[in-house]
Structure 1
């Protein structure tokens, strides 16, 4: 029994280690030319632990694939700068797509959902290194961007990222307003219910029940 437990533990450790772990030092090299599906996690996270076996299985199936890469980033260790750069606020966070411009994954977290998504999406995507699969509009857009200086691109990226931040801030502000309104409505409702009870509703019901019982006794 002890031997079997040891073997299982070693197998689990091997499976976990098989998932490519990304850090700022290896990110560019490991993701170059790839379409990626990345799990940003924390070792203490319960949901992360729950999905770990499915993620390990999926990563193993895509191991060595020419285009697709299933990887993970430990946000509590060397990978933390990648988590910060990608706006990771909760665990696990899944992102996919172009390694330089990841999109949020919003699908299911079970193996079947993850595997189907990977099959459907981990394909070559239009980019400066894959111009042959771009349509004419995208090719033109890439050519125009390639003509810009690094400084101009930095400025344009910063401007667009400000819009993303503004959208997040607006969303949070509106949610706070809704939460405040909800609290106000709850307090208003409770006050109305208390007023109705204080007006004698309970006593009316009690008297009605007593009269009904008295009438029944008379019969």
Structure 2
């Protein structure tokens, strides 16, 4: 995982995502998911480009079922943008970098 991409888990999700002061982009994925692996480099690019303005991380849905269940993740990859502890935008499936950038740009103040 790239250095700017955090790992979110059942135990740190509330403190690192829901209580964050900045917007947080979360990639819900699993190691066996081909489309998830296709999306990973895009998430890493977003993390680099928005470093210092947006927190970016991943949730392995196999290892962290509580967070995945709480957010009704039924298809992966799913990317959610959280702001103020709430989901403000969601993208399901492999998304182009421009789509993820637009999601973030819409919520940067």
TM-score range, shorter chain: 0.7 to 0.9
Distance in 2 between residues matched to 1:19 and 1:106, nearest whole Å:
18
Superposed displacement of residue 103, structure 1: 4.1
Stretches of structure 1 that go unaligned for 5 or more consecutive residues are 1-12, 125-219
- The count of residues paired between Structure 1 and Structure 2 equals 106
Q: Which has the higher strand share?
A: 2
Runs of at least 4 residues of structure 1 off by over 3 A? none
Distance in 1 between residues matched to 2:30 and 2:86, nearest whole Å:
22
Q: State how 1:38-77 maps to structure 2 within 5 Å.
A: 38-65=26-53, 68-77=54-63
Which protein is bigger by CA-based radius of gyration? 1
C-alpha contact 1:48 1:91 (8 A) present in aligned 2 = yes
| TM-score, length-scaled by structure 1 | 0.43
C-alpha contact 1:36 1:99 (8 A) present in aligned 2 = no
Match of 2:73 in 1: 88
RMSD of aligned C-alpha atoms? Answer: 2.2
| TM-score, length-scaled by structure 2 | 0.79
Matched, 1:23 2:1: no
Tell me: higher relative CO, structure 1 or 2? Use CA pairs within 8 A at least 6 residues apart.
2
Stretches of structure 2 that go unaligned for 5 or more consecutive residues are none
Distance in 2 between residues matched to 1:29 and 1:69, nearest whole Å:
12
